[in-house]
């Protein structure tokens, strides 16, 4: 059993938090986790993106004797993570395949000499015997396993290399381990515990709530146009991520946005490694760039000022959706999670599940994940509450999602459902035919299309019985019947088929409530919550309000311009110098001395010494204008 940290160690942790990272107090369970790890205990930590997970192992690594070894899944991000720590005065390094032998020897020598505080490794690196021998010769303070959900076999980011990490405890039994992830259901958490040999670890589960993110889900209706409107009206000049399901659509959307005057780049596994690395590096370093990507992009992204995450295709699970949208607003400032989805998405994902590898249990599990995602899309309740409930957390209505801001109306869709199910029934039972949603809707609307006439569907008794609804409304009915399990899709051709539950509706034994999309303004309000100069990049968000007074807004832009020029000169991401939240607080408080600047959240000793006078000069120059 681990011993708790001593009072001296606890005070040292707080001192490091203030001196190195520039925060006055810990947030949530950070201090409890840090004390537990300093005392030698193992931990499994579930904390939302932007919640300050990294401090939970970085500070213990600075307090404990030896070097903290961090297992990080993406080689491309290690350089930026190490760069950010170096800017804070922390001695950090990494070992990966991008280095030549001289660079590796330098890092290895520093590790053996105890001249590093943190060493970052990719999980596959630990398969090399040379790496294991190196670690044997040094002093390790702790092991941190980041993005631990990668170990879950049916998780959305499964990495086989993570399965080898269970050997850490066997080889170095006295070294504490901490596994961290931003999202995991109870089942995934149990799998992480089992596969990483963390059965005795203490579990810390923080709230999954990201109150600064406004969640919005809309039916697809010319998705490229909808996306462009979102970017132009709500996020002009903002950094963001647009997720697409396929490589082809990623390329098309990136080209479309670029042709519409928006700085956008594609990212997917089909691009060569050099292009992917260059595009990712540009996204991390530039302001206002939009990355259009498959889910191959984003895990471990540290960029704090991603103002929106948009999905143009339906995610496969709530877990994946939460993880991806969590890349927005890491700095705690208002951000948007926007999803456009349609009937074709449901059909496509059902088909992918039914034709995927894996046994029947796997197919059922994937189907359950999709059902939960559909329920989130079609809910008339608070989206945030439903999503938090998926992770086992109770919550009240948030007031910052589309269903809270513009409550959808419900209507009795029983008769409409009966009409649609009857059409599917007659196609199958009277004609021995199966068709997709488009043909069924054309029949209900009485459209004499060539396809309808060719198959004689204009002679069916259900032809033209659904003219009370528009085509878009009928597509919504189909979508919701699929979400409620009252209709299914055959994998081969995407044909609609009845389910056992369909009979209850046709037999007038079940009511079918449906949601009606409300009319709403183009812009939904973003209302951040929370305050304080607390640990982690989001802690200063409330001190730097989203809407700044005119004078402060002008100074904020001047500070951003200074930061951008400095970052370009030093070849590093702008956020490594200061986060937007810190610059906003500077713009509001207008510090005149280094002592006053030191009280701003996110300004530690190293950054104060390196950039403090430049910040004060920028503030003074703005005041003289």
Q: What are the DSSP calls for 460-496, one per residue?
A: STTTTTTTTS-HHHHHHHHHHHHHTTSSEE-TTT--E
In a domain, 521, yes or no: no
Looking up residue 167, the CATH number of its domain turns out to be 3.40.50.300
Predicted local confidence at residue 284, as pLDDT: 84
Q: Is residue 541 assigned to a domain?
A: no
227 and 340 Cβ atoms separated by less than 8 Å: yes
In the predicted structure, residue 476 carries a pLDDT above the cut 70: yes
Same-domain pairing of 361 and 466: no
Q: Is residue 165 part of a domain?
A: yes
pLDDT at 269: 87
430 or 363: which leads in pLDDT: 363
Q: Are residues 435 and 378 in the same domain?
A: no
pLDDT in tens, 543-602: 333 578 888 989 999 999 999 899 888 888 888 899 888 999 999 999 999 999 999 999
Percent of the chain with pLDDT over 90: 54
Confidence of residue 541 (pLDDT cuts 50, 70, 90): very low
Q: Which two tokens stand for residue 26?
A: 């810990």
Contacts of 482 (CB under 8 A, 6+ apart): 343, 346, 350, 374, 488, 489
On whether the CB atoms of residues 404 and 397 are closer than 8 A, the answer is yes
Once rounded to an integer, what is the mean pLDDT over residues 103-110?
A: 94
Predicted local distance difference test score (pLDDT) of residue 425 = 93
Chain centroid, CA 31 distance in Å:
24
364 and 242, same structural domain? yes
Examine the pLDDT at 542 and tell me if it is beyond 70: no
The continuous run of DSSP H or E covering 506 comes out as helix 500-506
One-character DSSP codes across 416-477: HHHHHHHHHHHHHHTT-----HHHHHHHHHT---HHHHHTTGGGSTTTTTTTTS-HHHHHHH
Under 8 Å between Cβ of 310 and 240: yes
Residue with tokens 């922390």: 90
Where is the domain boundary, 496, 516, 536?
516
Residue 381 domain flag: yes
- 87 versus 80: which is more confidently predicted? 87
Q: How far is 38 from 40, CA to CA, in rounded Å?
A: 5
| Tokens 């060719």 sit on residue | 454
- Per-residue pLDDT tens digits for 298-312: 665 778 889 999 999
Q: Which of 339, 292, 335, 343 is nearest to 315 (CA)?
A: 339
pTM of structure: 0.80
537 pLDDT band, cuts 50/70/90, is very low
Q: Which residue among 183, 205, 227 closes a domain? A: 205
The more confidently predicted of residues 525 and 106 is 106
CATH of the domain at 449: 1.10.10.10
Range of weakest confidence among 224-233, 382-391, 508-517, 537-546: 537-546
What is the band of 518 on the pLDDT scale with cuts at 50, 70, 90? Answer: low
Confidence at residue 531, expressed as pLDDT on a 0 to 100 scale: 37
Looking at the domain assignment, is residue 194 inside a domain?
A: yes
Whether 537 maps to a domain, the answer reads no
> What pLDDT digit, counting tens, does each position of 382-401 carry?
999 999 988 888 888 999 99
Interatomic CA distance for residues 563 and 234, integer angstroms? 24
Q: What per-residue string of b and e applies to 372-391 under the rule 16 or more CB within 10 Å gives b?
A: bbbebbbbebbbbbbbbbbb
Same domain, 277 and 335: yes
Asked if residue 76 has pLDDT above 60, the reply is yes
Question: Does 417 share its domain with 512?
Answer: yes
CB 71 within 8 A of CB 144: yes
pLDDT of residue 526: 45
Q: With contact defined as beta carbons under 8 Å apart, do 317 and 374 qualify?
A: no
C-alpha 400/C-alpha 125 separation (Å) is 43
Do 282 and 304 sit in the same domain of this protein?
A: yes
Among 406, 437, 470, where does a domain finish?
Answer: 406
Do 232 and 259 have their domain in common? Answer: yes
Average pLDDT over residues 208-236: 94
Asked if residues 484 and 512 have their Cβ atoms less than 8 Å apart, the reply is yes
CATH assignment of the domain containing 561: 1.10.150.80
Q: Comparing 50 with 349, which gets the higher pLDDT?
A: 349
Q: Is the same domain home to 370 and 453?
A: no
pLDDT of residue 530: 39
273, 362: one domain:
yes
User: For position 189, what pLDDT does the model report?
Assistant: 85
Query: Are 222 and 201 found together in one domain?
Result: no
Pick the closest to residue 427 from 412, 438, 414, 413 (CA basis).
438
- 255 and 374 co-located in one domain: yes
Q: Give the domain extent around 167.
A: 7-205
Rounded-to-integer distance, Cα 118 and Cα 86, Å: 10
Q: Read off the pLDDT of residues 266-315 as tens digits, 9 standing for 90 and up.
A: 999 899 988 988 898 889 888 889 999 998 776 657 788 899 999 999 99
What is the average per-residue pLDDT within 55-67?
Answer: 96
CA dist 35 and 534 (Å) reads 17
**CA–CA separation, 446 vs 443, rounded Å?**
5
Q: Which of 213, 460, 235 is nearest to 324 (CA)?
A: 213
pLDDT tens digits, 237-248: 999 999 998 999
Residue 439 and residue 454 in contact, taking contact as beta carbons nearer than 8 Å = no
Is pLDDT of 133 > 60? yes
- pLDDT value of residue 128: 85
Domain count, the chain: 4
List, in order, residues 6 or more apart from 528 with CB less than 8 Å away: 211, 212, 332, 333, 334, 541, 542, 546
- The reply to whether 415 and 396 lie within a common domain is no
530 lies in a domain?
Answer: no
Q: Which of 59, 49, 106 is nearest to 537 (CA)?
A: 49
pLDDT tens-digit readout, 138-159? 999 999 998 888 877 555 556 7
Mean pLDDT within 525-554: 53
In a domain, 535, yes or no: no
Residue 533: the pLDDT is 46
């Amino acid at each position: 059993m681990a011993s708790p940290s001593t009072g001296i160690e606890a005070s040292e942790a707080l001192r490091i938090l203030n001196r190195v990272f520039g925060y006055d107090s810990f947030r949530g369970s950070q201090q409890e986790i840090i004390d537990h790890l300093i005392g030698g205990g193992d931990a499994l930590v579930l904390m939302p993106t932007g919640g300050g997970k990294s401090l939970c192992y970085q500070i213990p690594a600075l307090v404990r004797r030896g070097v903290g070894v961090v297992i990080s899944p993406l080689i491309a991000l290690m350089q930026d993570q190490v760069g950010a720590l170096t800017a804070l005065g922390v001695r950090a390094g990494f070992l990966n395949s991008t280095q030549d032998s001289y660079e590796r020897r330098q890092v290895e020598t520093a590790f053996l000499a105890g001249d590093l505080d943190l060493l970052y490794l990719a999980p596959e690196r630990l398969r090399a015997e040379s790496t294991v021998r190196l670690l044997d010769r040094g002093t390790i303070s702790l092991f941190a396993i980041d993005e631990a959900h990668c170990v879950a076999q049916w998780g959305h980011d499964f990495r086989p290399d993570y399965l080898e990490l269970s050997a850490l405890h066997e080889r170095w039994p006295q070294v504490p381990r901490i596994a961290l992830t931003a999202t995991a259901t109870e089942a995934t958490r149990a799998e992480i515990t089992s596969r990483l040999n963390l059965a005795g670890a203490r579990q810390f589960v923080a709230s999954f709530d990201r109150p600064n993110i406004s969640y919005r889900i809309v039916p697809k209706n010319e998705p490229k146009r909808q996306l462009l409107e979102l970017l132009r009206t709500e996020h002009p000049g903002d950094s963001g991520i647009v997720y697409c399901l396929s490589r082809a659509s990623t390329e098309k959307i990136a080209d479309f946005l670029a042709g519409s005057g928006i700085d956008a780049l594609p990212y997917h596994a089909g691009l060569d490694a050099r292009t992917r690395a260059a595009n990712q590096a540009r996204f991390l370093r530039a302001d206002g760039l939009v990355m259009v990507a498959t889910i191959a992009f984003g895990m471990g992204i540290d960029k704090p000022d991603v103002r929106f995450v948009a999905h143009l295709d339906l995610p496969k699970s709530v877990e994946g959706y939460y993880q991806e949208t969590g890349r927005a607003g890491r700095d705690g400032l208002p951000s948007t999670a926007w999803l456009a989805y349609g009937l074709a998405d449901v059909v496509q994902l059902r088909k992918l599940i039914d034709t995927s590898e894996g046994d029947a249990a796997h197919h059922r599990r994937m189907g359950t994940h999709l059902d939960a995602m559909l329920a989130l899309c079609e809910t008339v309740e608070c989206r945030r509450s439903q999503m938090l409930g998926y992770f086992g957390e109770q919550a009240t209505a948030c007031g910052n999602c589309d269903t809270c801001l513009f409550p959808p109306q419900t209507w009795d869709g029983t008769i409409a459902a009966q009409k649609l199910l009857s059409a599917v029934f007659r196609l199958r039972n009277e004609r021995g035919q199966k068709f997709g949603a488009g043909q069924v809707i054309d029949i209900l609307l009485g459209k004499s299309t060539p396809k309808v006439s060719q198959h004689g569907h204009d002679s069916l008794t259900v032809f033209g019985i659904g003219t009370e609804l528009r085509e878009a409304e009928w597509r919504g009915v189909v979508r919701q019947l699929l979400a409620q399990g009252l209709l299914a899709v055959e994998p081969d051709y995407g044909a609609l088929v009845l389910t056992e539950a369909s009979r209850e509706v046709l037999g007038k034994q079940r009511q079918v409530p449906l949601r009606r999309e409300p009319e709403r303004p183009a812009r939904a309000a973003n209302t951040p919550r929370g305050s304080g100069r607390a640990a982690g990049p989001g802690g200063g968000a409330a001190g730097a309000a989203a809407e700044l007074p005119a004078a402060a807004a002008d100074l904020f832009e001047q500070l951003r311009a200074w930061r951008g020029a400095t970052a370009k000169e030093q070849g590093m991401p702008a956020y490594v110098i200061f986060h937007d939240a810190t610059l906003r607080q500077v713009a509001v408080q207008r510090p005149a001395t280094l002592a006053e600047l030191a009280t701003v959240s996110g300004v530690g000793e190293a950054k104060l010494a390196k950039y403090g006078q430049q910040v004060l000069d920028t503030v003074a120059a703005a005041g003289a204008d």
